[in-house]
Structure 1
């Protein structure tokens, strides 16, 4: 069996996708012959969190510790070099394929409670291709008898076209960003994007800029949808869109990994329901009551 588990191929018109069961991962997404995300081979162990679903929290929790409902809890330090708990609990578990068709697949995972996160959750990820692109939906239901802290995000690395991140332009409708500590990438304060050269509300070429930050203050259209657009020099590109009220934060990362094949090969665009370390700050943290369900969707499409 593939190290990334069962592989499900989806097709609709010019769009094709491959979803892998480990991490409910988007392993490939193409429009015709053009990749829209940085993929990886079926016989590879997934590099880092490329294409995975992040839940029940996205990004980092400082020291893996937090207090909820009057109890202090300790999570595994899954980013040991920085001493953080990173990207939730389901990126390296096998999800079960619940249903599939030519253009859609649903995967499910029942999260087992443990001392660090004593909350059983039923998680479902649904991928669907149509003329508008790939719709990626995450649903969580609290099946326990007490409230549960929760957040989620996807982790795709978008590919605009030929070249690498340096060659592409970014349009990011964010007025603010979260400044972080340089060593552990933990939150300091929300600041205006102009203060760090992170103003991409008017599209411009990324060049050699380094970004690994969460952005907020998102502008949306009349339907409440926020869009991040990445374009190559020839005009080709890719867009990630979502309802801004559902995910008021988006992590952008220029994939700086010197010496690795994925170095600046794609731009991570991760719409998040909450910012880093929300289990401690409480900022935009979702609290699922017993029996409550939360659902959010992102869409990736070719330009």
Structure 2
């Protein structure tokens, strides 16, 4: 049986999608950019907040728009005009992870069927913003099914002019046994960063078919050959896929935490300047993609 519950905990508005038949649920935080706060499948915790690892610092499961990753010193040029994002990365002057990760989302609609529960939430930017002076609406539809979770993102350009954009998603997946956990993804190109994690170049780099995680501290970027990333742990296995035509991957393992960030993006670090993966959305047009977490 699928259900949808709205909750308020510690002044946060939450929506929970539940499947009582197999003890699965997805919890979304409306006041934190519509992020996926918690994900459980068949009683196994897949995504959960970590002690002393606050959302404002780690961006766990944040939706990233209009850019993902970083923009060098927050500066970019669009149509021969210079813009400046606010720096929000303590160790550099970079702008980090877009503009909607801390916005308040509202519920647009809820739907329950015999095999799913879904909620659509949205945020509309109507105020003038010097760093990104465009009007837009962002819709996120979370759908919990028997064997998967889908996150559909739709961006609508409400302005009279086009704007540049990249989309990304920043989930941290539980992993308390890195020795016996691994990833599978196809990539023959790796992103090389400078000391501030700004893209320097993309180089040829054949990734092993079985990407081992033991004894690795990761903050690495890859150009994917297709849209599928598989993650295997002793407790669960899943497949993360995207409907985007271009797909990039950022992997990050925070120190001394039993989690790994597997970030699917349509662009890379500093994409507003290097143009890699950068798209333009024309006035009054929309763009949509869906990320799917399939439990294997």
Q: TM-score range by the shorter chain?
A: 0.7 to 0.9
Q: Which residue of 2 aligns with 1:209?
A: 216
TM-score by length of 2: 0.87
Q: Secondary structure at the match of 1:295?
A: strand
Q: Following TM superposition, by how much is the alpha carbon of 1:29 offset from its aligned partner in structure 2, in angstroms?
A: 0.8
Task: Output aligned runs, 1:1-303, within 5 Å.
Answer: 2=9, 5-12=12-19, 13-14=21-22, 15-21=24-30, 22-39=32-49, 48-102=58-112, 103-111=117-125, 112-159=127-174, 163-181=176-194, 183-194=195-206, 199-200=207-208, 202-218=209-225, 220=226, 226-233=227-234, 236-243=236-243, 245=245, 247-253=246-252, 255-258=253-256, 263=257, 265-303=258-296
Q: Following TM superposition, by how much is the alpha carbon of 1:86 offset from its aligned partner in structure 2, in angstroms?
A: 0.4
Q: Which residue of 2 aligns with 1:223?
A: none
Q: Deviations over 1:111-170 (max 9, x none)?
A: 23311100111111110011340000111111111111111111111235xx24344111
Q: Following TM superposition, by how much is the alpha carbon of 1:241 offset from its aligned partner in structure 2, in angstroms?
A: 1.2
Q: Which residue of 1 aligns with 2:5?
A: none
Whether contact under 8 Å (1:164, 1:266) holds in the other structure is: no
Q: Deviations over 1:71-110 (max 9, x none)?
A: 1011100113121100000111111111224511111101
Gaps of 5+ in 2: 1-7
* Distance in structure 2 (CA, Å) of the matches to 1:203 and 1:249: 18
Q: Deviations over 1:19-41 (max 9, x none)?
A: 11021010111111101223359
* Distance in structure 1 (CA, Å) of the matches to 2:200 and 2:26: 38
Q: Secondary structure at the match of 1:80?
A: coil
Of Structure 1 and Structure 2, the greater strand share is in 2
Q: Report the number of matched residues.
A: 279
Q: Deviations over 1:163-222 (max 9, x none)?
A: 2434411112211110101x200101111234xxxx23x22431111221221141x3xx
Whether contact under 8 Å (2:67, 2:166) holds in the other structure is: yes
* Distance in structure 2 (CA, Å) of the matches to 1:61 and 1:48: 17
* Distance in structure 2 (CA, Å) of the matches to 1:37 and 1:251: 17
Considering only aligned residues, what root-mean-square deviation do their CA atoms show, in Å? 2.0
* Distance in structure 2 (CA, Å) of the matches to 1:76 and 1:164: 38
Whether contact under 8 Å (1:165, 1:267) holds in the other structure is: no
Whether contact under 8 Å (1:59, 1:86) holds in the other structure is: yes
* Aligned CA distance change for structure 1 residues 6 and 40 (closer, same or farther; 3 Å): farther
* Distance in structure 2 (CA, Å) of the matches to 1:191 and 1:217: 13
* Distance in structure 2 (CA, Å) of the matches to 1:92 and 1:285: 23
Q: Secondary structure at the match of 1:63?
A: helix
Gaps of 5+ in 1: 221-225
